[in-house]
Chain A
Amino acid sequence: MATPVIAVNGLSKHFKVPEREAGLKASTRALFKRSHRLVKAVDAISFSIEPGEVVGFLGPNGAGKTTTLKMLSGLLHPTGGQVAVLGYEPKKRDHDYLKQITLVMGNRNQLSWDLPALDSFELYRALYGIERSRFEKLRDDFIELLEVGDLVRKPVRNLSLGERMKVEIIGALLHTPGVLFLDEPTIGLDVTMQRRIRRFIAEYNRRYGATVLLTSHYMADVEALCKRVIVIHHGKILYDGALAGLVEQFSAFKKVSVTLSGPDVDVSGFGEVLERDGSRVTLRIPKAETSRATARLLSELDADDLTVEDPPVEDVIEQVFATEAA
């Protein structure tokens, strides 16, 4: 087995957050006696990621995803635990380490706002000491892959959010990092733009064998790119394994769609009716009862067609978080 590129063991990050009630009285009291609350943003998590893996890091807002990525990239010092990426301790921010990673945050702009992206790419060339011919080849390849030939000559401020994200990603990858931390890289983008960025990440991973840890609220990103997911909630890991296994483990229901001979057949006795479209009915049936219910559907009703599916991953994740929060 290869040495993991990312090895995290008992990693924690706790923040001491000041808090007080609203109002003048509380504000005055806080001048003399400040009260704090300890927030365990990341609480003793452990996982490892092998070379070339693309792993989805899932969780609701405030789950600890970004905090973890910041610790892995060296921006935050852990409160406890060990972390090693490519054999480096990220918090030391060794320059050799920083040359081998990238952190892309979907809502942050790193290119010069007033200049065309091509000028910022030049700065990245100088910053990472990329040999000119290699730089030009990479830059042109990436521009072609993301189809941004006409965009890189416009000042970044004149680009749309999606266009900007594409050129940001190019800038972040020109030094061909071996480890990519992608924090919501497709946030706020339309479906076409999301798809193009996904394709690019997949292609980059294929070409350079890069290891990718990706957070996204769009399950389409995760389904398209990640075979493995890590689910984090309240700073703790709830699941670490195959994407398919997530549904298996957390979904208590199956989705059964059945086409009946007529539109008015009563199927409420078989499960919860999710949708009815003419003679086609979609039911939600507890997993343990699926076999029995489908057998009954086929034998008791005049069914033309019947399919059994797992619910969408998105629904499963939502359900996991809702259950945990309750």
Chain B
Amino acid sequence: MRRYLDYYLTSMRMAILEQFQYRVANYFYMIGMVAEPVIYLVVWSTVAEAQGGEVGGYTPAAFAAYYIVWTLVRNMNIVFTPYGWEGYIQRGQLSAELLKPIHPIHNFLSFFAGWKVVVILFWLPLAAILSLIFKPALDFTWVEVVVFFFAIWGAYLIRTMLLTLLGMITFWTTRVSAIYELFFAFELVLSGRLVPMSLMPVWVQEIADWLPFQWTFGYPIESLVAQLPPAELWGGLGMQALWIGITTVMVAVMWRFGIRRFSAVGN
């Protein structure tokens, strides 16, 4: 256990050092990423104003709060992608990982977790500027802040596991990108990334209830901005824990089959 902790801390430290080297690139990336929520925000604010000041309980200021927190949650959602997996296997880097006395997922988890530390630091001034422009209605309690803190890391874990599952398809086909695009389309609609889930048709919300996507996007945002009742606030963390468990088991099972396949073909 101590070795794992040491490994995580050292790997995170390395990720921080690496990402600081690319601070300008990181910042440009984050600025570019802001374009997406700003478009959503402008569109929905316009709709809200046209409908007498709100849509489904969201005022322009509430949308601003949602989409500004969105930018942080989106960054927390950046994990090792299936594209990364493709390259990793094609370049033989997975072989190098397999020679280490630790499961490769610890490398992905720790490295990207370190990156998040940099992301959060860089995000703060960006969020301040967005807040000055769009004047969000943010009214949260400290309990919500604590839940939000755990929820963004929960989202990170779930999405890591989901994309690891997708990435591992690379063990069977070298063209996983097409499947990722399909996944991405579902995620966009069913996670709260495009629009708060409460604005979606009821049948979409019912489908989303059976899927993990909203726990990686909509829930962490709403835990801070939507004044959720305590049952929903804490229950969300429970749902995240459940999905972390389910996806971790799925990763473990798929890894067993995938690695057998990889070890038969190799690279």
Contacts and interface: CB of A to CB of B under 8 A. Distances in A.
A111 to B, nearest CB: 10
B265 to A, nearest CB: 7
B263 A123 contact: no
A126 B260 contact: no
A227 interface: no
B92 A108 contact: yes
A136 interface: no
A198 interface: no
A126 B3 contact: yes
A76 interface: yes
Interface stretch (B95-103, B194-202, B233-241): B95-103
Contact of B100 (A15, A98, A105, A155): A98
A93 B97 CA distance: 12
Contacts of B245: none
B261 to A, nearest CB: 10
B95 A75 contact: yes
Contact of A99 (B7, B9, B101): B101
A93 B98 contact: yes
Contacts of A125: 10
Contacts of B95: 70, 75, 108
Interface string B71-101: 0000000000000000000001001101111
Nearest to B4: A126
Contacts of A114: 18, 21-22
Contact of B18 (A96, A108, A112, A127): A112
A95 B99 contact: no
B181 interface: no
A119 interface: yes
A323 to B, nearest CB: 30
A93 B232 CA distance: 44
Contacts of A98: 99-101
Contact of B11 (A99, A103, A126): A126
A70 B264 CA distance: 11
Interface residues on A, range: 20 to 34
A241 interface: no
Interface residues of B, number: 26
A95 B101 contact: yes
A154 to B, nearest CB: 13
B17 interface: yes
A122 B100 contact: no
A110 interface: yes
B96 A108 contact: yes
A129 B14 CA distance: 17
A91 interface: yes
B266 interface: yes
Given A15-B265, A91-B263, A119 B17 contact: yes
Contacts of B6: 126, 129
Contacts of B10: 122-123, 125-126
A127 B101 contact: yes
A311 B54 CA distance: 91
B99 A103 contact: yes
Given A114-B21, A126-B10, A129-B3, A102 B100 contact: no
30 contacts: A15-B265, A67-B266, A74-B98, A74-B99, A77-B260, A77-B264, A93-B98, A95-B101, A95-B102, A98-B101, A101-B99, A103-B99, A112-B14, A114-B21, A114-B22, A115-B14, A119-B14, A119-B17, A120-B14, A122-B10, A122-B13, A125-B10, A126-B7, A126-B9, A126-B10, A126-B11, A127-B3, A129-B2, A129-B3, A129-B6
Given A76-B266, A98-B100, A129-B3, 11 more contacts: A70-B95, A74-B98, A74-B99, A75-B95, A76-B264, A98-B99, A108-B95, A112-B18, A127-B7, A127-B100, A129-B2
